[in-house]
Structure 1
Amino acid sequence: MTSLNLTLLPFILVNLFFVINFDKLLFFHYILDKPDKKRKFHLKATPLAGGIILIINLLVYFITISLNKDLLLSEVLFNNNFELYIFMTAAFIIFFIGIFDDKYNLTPNHKFLLLFIIIFVTLTLDQNLLISSIYISFYNEVININKFSLFFTLFCFLVFLNAFNMFDGINLQASLYSISIFSFILFYFTNSYLSKILLIYLIFYSYLNYKNKSFLGDGGSLLMSFLISYMFIKLYNNGQIKFADEIFIFMIIPGIDLIRVFFKRILNNKNPLKPDRTHLHHLLSSKFTHFKSLIIIQLIIIVPIGLSQLDINKLFIILATIFCYSLIIYKLNR
């Protein structure tokens, strides 16, 4: 067994321990998501413990990589210890914003403002996280955005955090989507230690979610979306991902669903950040079983991602995905 595999063993054991003893560990049951029969139709109050387990994994990761110089040097996400510390600080603050929201129901505007501040500060401190140039596979010219790199990167973070947060609507939806992302990252882009740890966490968490024992909650949803965004941007800036449209294909379904719902709420004179039941997963669940809804969602996410790794024009993949999504929405609203 290699030294890298040995460093993954504690994460397997920790997550296995949490799954086996989940009902006995009282701190996992501190924040409960109670059904209200308006937006939340699960059968019983369910712990929002997914984020707590995730942040524990991240803490163990931080301790492990800090004590092992070889692991830190091999981790493509950080050029130095300072970037690692900035990353961990931002991750913990975003997690606590989510946990606070889970417990006390922050207003959408207050939550957005807090996320804006922490990501703005993170980008200011870590210049290597800024997107300064956009390379598109089907466009020959490089789009330089040096003057606007801070605000463009901030915009990308905030859009995906909100899209992922709203996308986490039915059991296994967010976790399977995240598993797909980190699996493709490991297979095609980089042998990231963090990706392996997050995959381990997601597999064990998916079991709890499947058994209706735990949800991600905003603490888990915001943290996971931050980790995905951070990883994609760092891999893009470091050259492991060559084109921005490759990343766009990974995020297209949550992104266009967010845009559709936002405009629909605005047209109905509602706060675009205030939750409702008009997302893709809600519409599918009203017509199909949970299993069929999950299959449809995962297919329209995974198929375009898989095709993007082949020698197929990515503009065609993007347009075809938008068309399929639009057709599904049209059929569901008839």
Structure 2
Amino acid sequence: MLQQVLSNLTVVSILAVINSLLLVYYVIPKISWVIITRNLNEKPNERSSHKGATPTMAGVAFFITLIMTLFFIQYYDTEHIGLNLIASATLIFMVGVKDDLVVSSPKAKLFMEALAVLFLFFHNALESSNLNGFLGIFEIPLWFVYIASTILVLTIINAYNLIDGIDGLASIIAIIIFSVFALIFYSINLFFYYLVCLSFIGMLFAYLFFNFSTKNKIFMGDTGSLLIGFCIAFLSLRFMAIDVSLYSHFTFKPENGFFILMAILCIPLFDMLRVIGVRLLHNKSPFYPDRNHSHHVLIDFGMSHFKATMLLGFINYMFVILIIILGTFLNSFKMLAVFFIAFGLFLLLFYKLKRSINAARLKVVK
């Protein structure tokens, strides 16, 4: 009887969202109690957008929920990749826990993240040596696939980790990303990945209740942001490995698949590139912490956490729609030009905002 229930996609889809939401909603207060009791609250620094010490490590609830979800949706794991995901996610979870308790060096984090990617490479479902004509390129060597995939995963993990700076932003961006991926995987009958997306959507909606709360606030911490970033990267690899024959389900051209992925991840990626560029221009390390992130600029400009989050989420969502539309009739070379223009406008917007903020501060000093 239970097996029949779990083989019904509609029922499992509803359960994936509801169970994830309820489990995270139940576990987070327990985590908060432990953090507060052991005096492990995250204390604000000069970069923080918060004033008081706040519990963190809500990502523990995400990890527990992910493991439970993977058990219940194993019927749909036709590619048998669930164990690889569990092994990789466990490594990432360990890195996040350590970083939340005792700050890790960037090099140590990158090494462990790369090791986690290795566990994914033990499965060939994420391998694809065909770029489908992206910038005129078709077949590429398998060794290059592994290197490029590792760089892509590390970039996505850390780009997502960097946007976790104000209430709700990381969650809203992730909900948008998982929603788009869910639609894509559902349309091509990759239901295991679709259900993973639904589970994370349920988790993040539950987390938002606490993250926006004034009395029961908690942060996801690196435990959460690294895990979510890794799972987004995992889904990104599977998206890039979609067989070219399945592109008949989509309106956009196969050669534009990479640009669709970049659009889905646009806010984390654009923000990371912009921040690294600003730091290098000031002769600082790319890992140097500062308040140059897009969300910091919007907060300093006078926006509330909620408004800044909604604005960046809206930009991300609309850009995905725009790129999917353009991807139906533009080739990959023209799409590359579109991305350069879009990134240029993104840089210009936040340059103007930053100048306005600095000018206002100078007036106050005088």
Amino acid at match of 1:318: F
1:111 paired residue among 94, 97, 109: 109
Runs of 4 or more consecutive aligned structure 1 residues displaced over 6 Å after TM superposition: none
Q: Identify if the C-alpha distance between structure 1 residues 332 and 6 changes in structure 2 by more than 3 Å, giving closer, same or farther.
A: closer
User: Separation in 1 of the partners of 2:150 and 2:277?
Assistant: 21
- What CA distance in whole angstroms lies between the structure 2 residues aligned with 1:312 and 1:12? 39
Residues in 2 aligned to 1:317 and 1:257: alpha-carbon distance in whole angstroms: 17
1:195 and 2:197 matched = yes
CA-atom RMSD, angstroms? 2.5
1:216–1:12 Cα change, 3 Å? closer
Q: Flag the 1:10–1:166 CA change in 2: closer, same or farther, 3 A.
A: closer
> How big is the shift at 1:141?
4.3
In the TM superposition, 1:293-308 aligns within 5 A as 293-308=308-323
Whether 1:222 aligns to 2:219 is no
Following superposition of structure 1 onto structure 2, how do residues 158-173 of structure 1 map, counting pairs within 5 Å?
A: 158-173=154-169
Residue 268 of structure 1 corresponds to: 282
SS in 2 for 1:134: strand
Distance 1:145 1:173, change over 3 A: farther
Residue 258 (structure 2) aligns with = 244
Give TM-score scaled by structure 2 length: 0.79
* Corresponding residue of 1:62: 70
Distance verdict in 2 for CA 1:134–1:105, change over 3 Å = same
The equivalent position to 1:92 in structure 2, one of 80, 90, 93, is 90
Matches within 5 A, 1:279-318: 279-290=293-304, 291-310=306-325, 311=328, 313=330, 314-315=335-336, 317-318=338-339
Aligned with 1:148: secondary structure?
Answer: helix
Cα-to-partner distance string for 1:166-197 (whole Å, 9 max, x where unaligned): 11111111100011111122234425111111
SS in 2 for 1:309: helix
- Mean CA deviation greater in 231-240 or 273-282: 231-240
Report whether the alignment pairs 1:332 with 2:353: yes
Q: What letter is aligned with 2:52?
A: K
- Name whichever of 165-174 and 265-274 sits farther off: 265-274
Distance in 2 of aligned mates of 1:210 and 1:282: 17
- The Cα shift of 1:129 comes to 2.2
Q: Structure 1 unaligned segments of length 5 or more: list them.
A: 74-78
Q: Kindly indicate whether the alpha-carbon contact (under 8 Å) linking 2:32 and 2:55 is maintained by their aligned counterparts in 1.
A: no
Q: 2:361 — aligned with what?
A: none
Residues 264 and 57 of structure 1: is their aligned pair in 2 closer, same or farther, counting only changes over 3 Å?
Answer: same
The answer to whether structure 1 residue 27 and structure 2 residue 29 are counterparts is: no
> 8 Å contact 2:84–2:122 — kept in the other structure?
yes
**Deviations 1:53-103 (Å, cap 9, x if unpaired)?**
11011121122234xx3x333xxxxx12xx211110110110110110111
Which residue number in structure 1 is paired with residue 364 of structure 2?
none
Matching of residue 101 in structure 1 with residue 99 in structure 2:
yes
Aligned to 2:77: 72
SS in 1 for 2:239: helix
SS in structure 2 of the partner of residue 32 of structure 1: coil
Q: Secondary structure at the match of 2:77?
A: helix
Q: Between the two proteins, what is the percent identity of the paired residues? A: 25
Matched letter for residue 328 of structure 1: L
Give the whole-Å Cα distance in 2 for the aligned partners of 1:108 and 1:327: 29
Q: Within 2, Cα distance between the matches of 1:41 and 1:92? A: 30
Q: Which amino acid aligns with 2:342?
A: T
Question: Structure 2: which 5+ runs fail to align?
Answer: 1-7, 248-253, 356-366
Q: Which residue among 7, 19, 23 is the counterpart of 1:14? A: 23
Please, which moves more after superposition, 164-173 or 251-260? 251-260
